[in-house]
Structure 1
Amino acid sequence: MDIYVSNLSPYVANEDLINQFSKFGVVNSANVIFDKFTNRSRGFGFVNMPNDAEAQKAIQEMDGSSVEGKTIAVSKARPREERPARSYNNNQW
């Protein structure tokens, strides 16, 4: 199950998420999302846990907990919403 983690401190790394969530079971992967231009954390990430029961327990226990001094929000990840492609018209600039 993919888990969405938000309100992360800019100092949280992938390894930190693995350490926090591995208390509840096996963690396949953890990925903090970074801005591609500034290379700074965007304040959210994803954790993948293969066992749904362990993932649900992690969501319940970790939601509202404090990591690196910030209260995080944890929920089941939802599929990304399709957004219309941006079109830039040179006449509008």
Structure 2
Amino acid sequence: MKLLVRNLARTTTEQDIHDLFAAHGTVDQCDLVLDKETGLSKGFAFVEMPDDKEANKALKTLHHSNIDDSKIRVKMAQDK
């Protein structure tokens, strides 16, 4: 399951996000979206977890949690 993580602090790293979700299950991929011109975080990321049960647990547990002084939002990512 692919999850969208929004409202991340600009200082939150890809490794921080990976570690946060790995505490709830296996993480296949974690991609922090960066601005192409500045190389800085755009404040959101995608996390892919192969086990839907683990992904749903992470979603419910982490949605509206405070990470690096930001209340993050987690939801299922929608394909374009």
Q: CA RMSD in A?
A: 0.7
> What letter matches 1:24 in structure 2?
H
Higher relative strand content: 2
**1:73 aligned partner:** 73
- Using structure 2 for the length normalisation, give the TM-score: 0.96
**Could you list the per-position Cα deviations for residues 34-69 of structure 1 after superposition, in whole angstroms to 9, with x for gaps in the alignment?**
010111110000011000010001000000001111
Instruction: In structure 2, list runs of 5 or more residues that go unmatched.
Output: none
Greater relative contact order, per chain length (Cα 8 Å cut-off, separation 6+): 2
Deviation at 1:74, TM superposition (A): 0.2
Deviation at 1:31, TM superposition (A): 0.9
Alignment of 1:9-48 (within 5 A): 9-48=9-48
Q: How many corresponding residue pairs?
A: 80
- Using structure 1 for the length normalisation, give the TM-score: 0.83
> What letter matches 1:17 in structure 2?
I
Deviation at 1:14, TM superposition (A): 1.0
Rounded to whole Å, the distance in 1 between the matches of 2:30 and 2:52 is: 16
> What letter matches 1:42 in structure 2?
K
Runs of 4 or more, structure 1, over 3 Å off, are none
Rounded to whole Å, the distance in 1 between the matches of 2:2 and 2:51 is: 10
**Identical aligned residues as a percent:** 34
Instruction: Name the larger-Rg structure.
Output: 1
